[in-house]
Amino acid sequence: MKKKTLVPFVIFLLGICLVSLIVYITDTHENEQRHITAQLNATTYGERIKTEITDGIEITDALKQILISENGEIHQFETIAENLMSDSIESVQLAPNGVVTDIYPAEGNEAGKIDLINDKDRGEISCYARDNHTIITQGPFELKQGGYGIAVRNPVYLKDQNEQEYFWGFTIVILRVPDIFSDSIHALSDFGYEYSILKTDTPWSNIYKVVYQSDEQINHPVSYTFTIGNDNWKIEVTPKSGWRNNTLIIIISGIFLTIILLLTVLTRVWLVAKEHRNKYKILAHTDSLTGIYNRYGFDELAEKMISKNPQIHFVAALLDIDDFKFINDIYGHGYGDRALKSLADSMKAFFPSNALLGRNGGDEFGILLPNCTFEEADVQLQQFTKLPKTFSCHGEKHAFYISLGYAEYPTFASDRSQLLRCADAALYEIKLHGKNGCMAYREGLQSGVRKQLGFAFKDISEHLPGAFIIYRADKEKDELFYANDEFLHMSGYKDIDELFRLTKKRFRNLIREDEQQQIESSIWEQIDSGNENDYIHFHLRKADGTYLSVLDHGRIVESQQYGKVFYVLFMDWEDMHIRYSDKFSG
370: cis peptide before it, omega within 30°? no
State how beta strands 389-393 and 396-400 pair: antiparallel
Sheet holding 222-228, edge to edge: 208-213, 193-200, 231-239, 222-228
Note whether 194 and 201 are within 8 A (CB): no
Note whether 405 and 439 are within 8 A (CB): yes
DSSP labels, 123-142 = HHHHHHHHHHT--EEEEEEE
**Cα radius of gyration rounded to whole Å, the chain:** 43
CA distance 435 to 319: 11
Residue 581 pLDDT = 60
* 423 closest CA partner among 401, 445, 402: 445
Report domain extents, the chain.
Answer: 23-255, 280-453, 457-585
Alpha carbon separation from 263 to 252, 256, 269, 273, 277 (Å, rounded)? 16, 10, 10, 15, 18
155: cis peptide before it, omega within 30°? no
Q: Do domains 23-255 and 457-585 have the same CATH topology?
A: yes
Residue 250 pLDDT = 87
Residue 586 pLDDT = 45
Note whether 143 and 171 are within 8 A (CB): no
* Secondary structure percentages of the chain, helix, strand, coil, to 5: 45, 25, 25
Residue 102 pLDDT = 92
* 373 closest CA partner among 410, 405, 319, 427: 410
Helix orientation angle between 324-331 and 333-350, rounded to the nearest 10 degrees: 140
CA distance 238 to 233: 17
Going residue by residue through the chain, which has 586 residues, state the pLDDT in tens, using 9 for 90 and above.
Answer: 567 788 888 888 888 888 888 888 888 888 899 999 999 999 999 999 989 888 888 999 999 999 989 888 888 899 999 999 988 899 999 999 999 999 999 887 777 789 999 999 899 999 999 999 999 998 888 888 788 999 999 999 999 888 899 999 999 999 998 888 888 999 999 999 999 999 998 888 889 999 899 988 888 899 999 998 888 999 999 999 888 888 888 888 888 888 888 888 888 787 777 656 656 666 778 998 999 999 999 999 999 999 999 999 999 999 999 888 888 877 888 899 999 999 999 999 999 999 999 999 889 999 999 999 988 999 999 999 999 999 988 888 889 999 999 999 998 899 999 999 999 999 988 887 778 899 999 887 765 444 444 445 555 666 667 888 988 888 888 888 888 888 999 999 998 889 989 999 999 999 999 998 888 888 888 777 766 556 788 999 999 999 999 988 888 887 766 678 888 889 888 877 776 665 544 4
Residue 404 pLDDT = 95
Residue type, 285: H
* 127 closest CA partner among 97, 158, 88: 97
CA distance 460 to 462: 6
Note whether 398 and 317 are within 8 A (CB): no
CATH code matching the domain that covers 457-585, chosen among 3.40.190.10, 3.30.450.20, 3.10.129.10, 1.20.1090.10? 3.30.450.20
CA distance 474 to 538: 19
Residue 584 pLDDT = 43
- Structural fold of domain 280-453: Alpha-Beta Plaits (3.30.70)
Which neighbouring-strand residues pair with 93? 103, 172
CA distance 378 to 407: 10
CA distance 434 to 401: 11
CA distance 553 to 564: 16
CA distance 280 to 264: 19
Q: Which residues, other chains included, contact 156 with Cβ-Cβ below 8 Å and sequence gap of 6+?
A: 64, 67, 68, 167, 168, 169, 170, 171
Strand (E) or helix (H) holding 210:
strand 208-213
Residue type, 2: K
CA distance 139 to 178: 12
Note whether 462 and 443 are within 8 A (CB): no
Length of the chain measured in residues: 586
Residue 436 pLDDT = 87
Question: Which DSSP state fits 452?
Answer: G
Residue 521 pLDDT = 86
Q: Strands of 364-447 (E only): list them.
A: 364-370, 389-393, 396-400, 402-409, 438-440
Q: Which residues, other chains included, contact 514 with Cβ-Cβ below 8 Å and sequence gap of 6+?
A: none
Which neighbouring-strand residues pair with 153? 136, 172
What CATH superfamily is the domain 23-255?
A: PAS domain (3.30.450.20)
Note whether 363 and 321 are within 8 A (CB): yes
- Plot region of 233 (φ>0 → left; ψ -120 to 50 → alpha; else → beta): beta
Handedness of CA 77, 82, 88, 90 (dihedral sign): positive
Instruction: For residue 540, count other CB atoms closer than 10 A to its CB.
Output: 22
